[in-house]
Amino acid sequence: MLPQNIALVDDDLEFSEFLAQHLRDQSGAVRVFNDSSDLLSDRDAFVFDFYILDLMLPGVDGIELLRILRRRTQAGILVVSGRMAPDVFDQAITAGADMYLAKPVRLEQVALAVLAVQRRVQGSHEQTKTWKLDHASGELTAPDGVRISLSDNDRVVLECFIDAGGAPVSREQLRRKLGRIEPDETDNLLHASIYRLRRRIERATPLLAPLQSVPRQGYVFRALLVRA
């Protein structure tokens, strides 16, 4: 089964149109970006379930885009590109791609590659170890054993995710738990709290912080999180 939410980043308008329609016909929801900067400036840039990228893009170079995405998401990434260079495959895989297909390529081949990568990604997610919140000590223990000191707000936010049992937590719920009943125009305070927590995790451990935004809903902790 195809991922539910796919970002296709390619400035070849004809190829993007045909590929997006082919994937939609197989029940995949696809958003097309013809410029890498358009993707990065989108509010949902890092919450897609899967990414299909060209490497020859206006805006941010495709290899650099790969590195940026891989720092922020564990989603599957497939490169489909006509870039000709002896080391282009090595560059793409090293930067974070899960698979590389060279253009020209059939639409059916791209769909099969997406399915293959998605199976691998889902399997690795199922094996993800547990994150543990110790409220008494004020620490979060990452799967690699690193203990991360938390602020009071961090602990409140993480308790919300534990209570949600892996489901998204709305912005309103988080605001109320943090004692902020009235939202400001853009939820800047809440966004800042989530950003600081994510950065605290990423500075302490090389593991990706599984804390992600959910479009039009709130935030979700995409890993098993329990009380110690």
Structural domains present in the chain: 5-126 (3.40.50.2300), 131-227 (1.10.10.10)
Q: So what's the pLDDT on residue 42?
A: 93
Q: Which are the contacts of 142, defined by CB distance < 8 A and separation ≥ 6?
A: 131, 148, 201, 204, 205, 207
Q: So what's the pLDDT on residue 98?
A: 94
Q: So what's the pLDDT on residue 214?
A: 82
pTM: 0.60
CA dist list (Å): 21 to 29, 104, 191 = 9, 18, 34
Structure tokens, 65: 């885009």
Q: So what's the pLDDT on residue 33?
A: 97
Q: So what's the pLDDT on residue 58?
A: 92
Q: So what's the pLDDT on residue 86?
A: 83
CA distance 26 to 104: 21
CA distance 176 to 15: 46
**β-strand pairing of 5-9 with 29-33:** parallel
Tell me the mean pLDDT per 10 residues along the chain, length 228: 91 96 90 95 92 94 94 92 88 93 95 91 63 91 92 93 91 85 63 90 87 85 89
Query: Do 137 and 116 form a contact (C-beta atoms < 8 A)?
Result: no
Identity of the amino acid at 104: P
Q: So what's the pLDDT on residue 187?
A: 65
